[in-house]
Amino acid sequence: MKENNTVTPARKPVPAHHPDHQHKPGEKQDHKHSHDHGQSCDHGHAHTMMIFGKNTELYFSLLCGTLLGIAWLLGNTIAISQTASLSLLLGAYFFGGFFTTKEAIQTIAKGGFEIDFLMLVAAIGAAILGKWEEGALLLFLFSLGHSLEHYAMDKARKSISALASLAPKTALLKTNGTTTEVDTSVLKAGDIIVVRPNTKISADGIVVAGTSSVNQAPITGESVPVDKMQVDNPAAALQHDNIDARYKVYSGSINGNGSLEVMVSQAASDSTISRLVKMVNEAQSQKSPTQQFTDKFQRIFVPSVLTLVVVLCFAFLVIDESFGASFYRAMAVLVAASPCALAISTPSAVLSGVARAARMGVLIKGGRPLEDLGTLTAVAFDKTGTLTEGRPTLTQVIPMNGLSENELLQAAVAVEALSDHPLAKAIVRDGKTRLGNQSIPEAQQLEAVLGKGIKATWQQQPVYIGNLALFEALDTQLPSQELRTRVQELERAGNTTMIVRKGDVYAGIIAVMDTPRAEAAEALKALKNTGIRRMIMLTGDNQQVADAVAREIGITDAWGSLLPEQKVAAIQKLAKDEHKVAMVGDGVNDAPAMANSTVGIAMGAAGSDVALETADIALMGDKLSLLPFAIGLSRTASSIIKQNLWISLGMVAVLIPLTITGIASIGPAVMAHEGSTLIVVFNGLRLLAYKGPRAEALG
């Protein structure tokens, strides 16, 4: 019976629910949210009065400058009354000081202290001394600088908030053969949604009908669409975390030309993109080591400046000048010494770096891992699933004693098809691929032999498959020296070997191996080019296998036969030797080792709740090529932060002596002050356009 796939009118939309992030029992709770309002120039306050819309602050600043310009122009071209001039300047003070006063009052009411207050004091002081023009110029430049600063920082924040818009607001819910357009917030696990061709997928889930290629770049950073197909048992698949990527889809990814039906795996508020947005927003509040240093510096510097300003107010008692001149000099020093650029130098770079990384499918949880990543000289990798594919692959088929490759494969596939061992499944899967559509007679009577292999009957003959130890203990028909030599050569190359004997004839050797990822060698080469000196592979496999993989992909150190607790000890030793070391793994089995590393990096985190929570940095796509990009971005961010510190501290170091000696007045001081602030902000925003190692290949 043909299904009715008409779309009925939408239900009344239900407002999306975005609960605050809460840690489940046992989860890491080291997210230190900083909401202190110390002296700062990062004005993130919402302006409730928006006469001219979101750009009201900029328009007010321009009005201030216009009134100041008119007052100066008329005063120098035609004679106007003092009242008219003062009225224009008062208007300039009002528009230039409106938001500055508003923010200062809000902060002081909360027990905080901001640079806005100091600027107001300086402007009022200039007015008291009769220097209205200089006070208005100060407010104009200060308000203009801050409105441009807000605009620039909002650009970085919008880059992050754009992630939230990736997920569609509605979905086509299929119920009893009928599809209904509903708000995504009403979807629950087990619901079936229809995804039409070339539309965004509305929820995380499992494909239960249809095939298509899906563009996952917005979530994982993968530039090539990924083929998706329906899973055999959807209900069982929902109960398991390790679902093959071919069956999983993510909210916000883009469907290709095929139509899909998807079983929802979790509510919209718990989808991968929702968790990503929450964590990126949390990351903005995580202070980096440099920002913590600048905060400590300001706690000492600001009181020192205020003390100096008070002392300078009484300079007239020591030198031959009026109180007005001393007070004016003190106000100029106050403006010059205000650490506005210093306060914003690190947050602007961190915010931009986190936003840029998120767009590439790399979740960096704050300033500390962003900076730490750029200082690494050593990176440790788990082998299985990180440097390798994570599943055995048939690598060698070597027939002997006159048999063909097809005959050897048919015997191996027929017997191994009766076994549920992972290596047997690999032989059957890849063997059938090599044989094509050939019909293979079935084997019977599978049994284990001495725990070293298996035996079955195939084509009226016994077939044995196992290791050398099996055949050395089986009977007097021992393997030849040639066969033994080939086995040893294959095992030295990292293969797991199985000898196949049909009756009394040794048919040949089958070899399987967890092969290196296709991009592993290139990614490690890119890491070396970014300055990583040591790349260490940690694995539970024997040292022979570890060495073979290391030679193939370019690992500098291979440490094999490690138990989980020995991996932790290895990381601790590396941290002692190299001072800082990263651990790259799946974020689940490697969690203890990651916890002991400087930076824990989880691969393929898009489908893993645990990885998203435990790692400092999560590579949403299952691609090693994201790692050189992340490290390159971090190094660039660290460089920009250092540049910003030199600019901000250098400007203060130059301006303070100039204003104390009277060489620079309030006007030039505020120009330099606001100019340096804008320079460090826009310097930080350069990270939004960062193109680094493998960035082009990743999209």
Q: List residues with catalytic annotation.
A: 382
- Residue 409 CA, chain-centre distance (Å), reads 45
Q: Which residues contact 428 (CB under 8 A, 6 or more apart)?
A: 413, 416, 417
Here the tokens at position 631 are 């490290």
Residue 405 DSSP SS3? helix
C-alpha–C-alpha distance, residues 350 and 291, integer Å: 10
CB 509 within 8 A of CB 490: yes
The residues facing 510 across adjacent strands are 397, 498
C-alpha–C-alpha distance, residues 260 and 263, integer Å: 10
Where do runs of H (alpha helix) occur along 110-213? 115-128, 132-164
Detail the DSSP E strand segments found in 528-597. Answer: 534-538, 557-559, 581-585
Task: Tell me the CA distances in angstroms from 2 to 5, 306, 313, 569, one per residue in order.
Answer: 9, 81, 89, 62
- DSSP per residue, 77-122: HS---HHHHHHHHHHHHHHHHHHHHHHHHHHHHTT---HHHHHHHH
Q: Which residues contact 15 (CB under 8 A, 6 or more apart)?
A: 185
Among candidate residues 272, 270, 358, the one with its CA nearest the CA of residue 19: 270
DSSP element (H, E) containing 681: helix 666-685
Strand order in the sheet with 248-249: 7-8, 178-183, 170-175, 192-195, 260-264, 205-209, 248-249
The residues facing 137 across adjacent strands are none
Here the tokens at position 59 are 């328009």
C-alpha–C-alpha distance, residues 642 and 374, integer Å: 12
Here the tokens at position 135 are 């006070």
Among candidate residues 566, 601, 606, the one with its CA nearest the CA of residue 584: 601
CB 171 within 8 A of CB 131: no
Angle (CA) 531 533 539, round 5° = 125
DSSP element (H, E) containing 61: helix 56-77
- Residue 125 CA, chain-centre distance (Å), reads 48
Angle (CA) 239 215 374, round 5° = 90
CB 583 within 8 A of CB 601: yes
C-alpha–C-alpha distance, residues 246 and 499, integer Å: 33
CB 176 within 8 A of CB 69: no
Half-sphere exposure of residue 635: CA atoms within 13 angstroms, side-chain side: 17
Half-sphere exposure of residue 335: CA atoms within 13 angstroms, side-chain side: 34
The CB density around residue 531, as the number of other CB atoms within 10 Å, is 13
CB 659 within 8 A of CB 130: no
Among candidate residues 558, 555, 557, the one with its CA nearest the CA of residue 525: 555
Q: Which burial class, exposed, middle or buried, applies to 252 when counting CB atoms under 10 A from its CB (0-12, 13-18, 19+)?
A: buried
Residue 37 DSSP SS3? coil
Please give, one letter per residue, the 3-state secondary structure of 291-302: HHHHHHHHHHHH
Among candidate residues 583, 602, 601, the one with its CA nearest the CA of residue 593: 583
